[in-house]
Amino acid sequence: MLEGRHVLLGITGGIAAYKAAALASKLTQAGAQVKVVMTQHAKEFVTPLTFQALTRDRVYDDTFAEKDPEKVAHIDVADWADFILIAPATANIIGKAAGGLSDDMLSTVILAARCPVYIAPAMNVNMYEHPAVQENMKTLKQRGWHFIEPGDGYLACGWIGKGRMAEPEDITAFLQSTYQTASPFKGKKVLVTAGPTYEYSDPVRVFTNPSSGKMGFAAAAEAAALGAEVTLVTGPVQMETPPHVKRIDVTSAEEMYEAVMQYFPEADVVCKAAAVSDYRPAERHQEKRKKQTGPLSIEMERTKDILAALGEQKSHQLLIGFAAESTDVETYAKDKLERKNLDMVVANNISSDRAGFQTDTNEIMLLRRGESPFYLPLLTKTEAAKEIFAYATPLLKKDES
| Chain-centre distance for alpha carbon 85 | 17
**What pLDDT is stored for residue 163 in this prediction?**
83
Q: Is the same domain home to 241 and 377?
A: yes
**Would the pLDDT of 398 be above 60?**
no
| Nearest in space to 160 (alpha carbons), one of 128, 136, 120, 121 | 128
**Would the pLDDT of 225 be above 90?**
no
The pTM for the full model equals 0.61
**DSSP E strand boundaries for 165-317:** 189-194, 199-202, 205-207, 229-234, 245-249, 269-272, 279-281, 300-302
**Would the pLDDT of 141 be above 60?**
yes
Least confident of 84-88, 213-217, 346-350: 346-350
What whole-number distance in Å separates Cα of residue 345 and Cα of residue 273? Answer: 10
Q: Is the same domain home to 242 and 358?
A: yes
Average pLDDT, the chain: 90
Residue 400 pLDDT level (bands cut at 50, 70, 90): very low
The tally of CA atoms less than 13 A away on the side-chain side of residue 384 is 28
| Chain-centre distance for alpha carbon 217 | 8
pLDDT in tens, 237-273: 999 888 789 999 999 999 999 999 999 999 999 999 9
374-401 average pLDDT score: 81
109-135 average pLDDT score: 93
Least confident of 179-183, 210-214, 353-357: 179-183
**Would the pLDDT of 128 be above 90?**
yes
pLDDT in tens, 285-328: 999 988 888 898 999 999 999 999 999 999 999 999 999 888 88
**Would the pLDDT of 71 be above 90?**
no
**What pLDDT is stored for residue 102 in this prediction?**
92
Last residue of a domain, one of 178, 204, 231: 178
Q: Is the same domain home to 159 and 202?
A: no
264 phi/psi in degrees, rounded to 5: -60, -45
Q: Is the same domain home to 271 and 323?
A: yes
Residue 87 forms part of a structural domain: yes
Q: Is the same domain home to 153 and 240?
A: no
Last residue of a domain, one of 178, 203, 220: 178
pLDDT in tens, 8-23: 999 999 999 999 999 9
Q: Is the same domain home to 129 and 211?
A: no
Residue 89 forms part of a structural domain: yes
Q: Is the same domain home to 164 and 208?
A: no
**What pLDDT is stored for residue 180 in this prediction?**
59
Q: Is the same domain home to 210 and 136?
A: no
Give me the CATH number covering residue 82: 3.40.50.1950
Q: Is the same domain home to 155 and 194?
A: no
* Contact (Cβ atoms closer than 8 angstroms) between residue 298 and residue 201: yes
**What pLDDT is stored for residue 401 in this prediction?**
39
176-188 average pLDDT score: 76
Any idea which residues carry the catalytic annotation?
157
**What pLDDT is stored for residue 65 in this prediction?**
82
**Would the pLDDT of 209 be above 50?**
yes
Q: Is the same domain home to 267 and 344?
A: yes
Residue 184 forms part of a structural domain: no
Q: To the nearest whole percent, how much of the chain has pLDDT over 90?
A: 66
Range of the domain at 216: 189-278+299-400
**Would the pLDDT of 159 be above 80?**
no
Show the CA angle centred on residue 20, arms to residues 382 and 31, nearest 5°: 45
Give me the CATH number covering residue 235: 3.40.50.10300
Q: Is the same domain home to 134 and 267?
A: no
- Higher per-residue confidence, 227 vs 210: 210
Residue 183 forms part of a structural domain: no
Q: Which residues pair with 229 in a beta bridge?
A: 189
Number of folded domains that form the chain? 2
Residue 1 pLDDT level (bands cut at 50, 70, 90): low
**What pLDDT is stored for residue 57 in this prediction?**
93
Residue 161 pLDDT level (bands cut at 50, 70, 90): confident
**Would the pLDDT of 279 be above 50?**
yes
Q: To the nearest whole percent, how much of the chain has pLDDT over 70?
A: 96
Residue 63 forms part of a structural domain: yes
Q: Is the same domain home to 68 and 194?
A: no
188-208 average pLDDT score: 95
pLDDT in tens, 27-67: 999 989 999 999 999 999 999 999 999 999 999 999 888 77
Last residue of a domain, one of 178, 210, 232: 178
* Contact (Cβ atoms closer than 8 angstroms) between residue 377 and residue 363: yes
| Nearest in space to 178 (alpha carbons), one of 152, 148, 212 | 148
Q: Which amino acid is at 170?
A: D
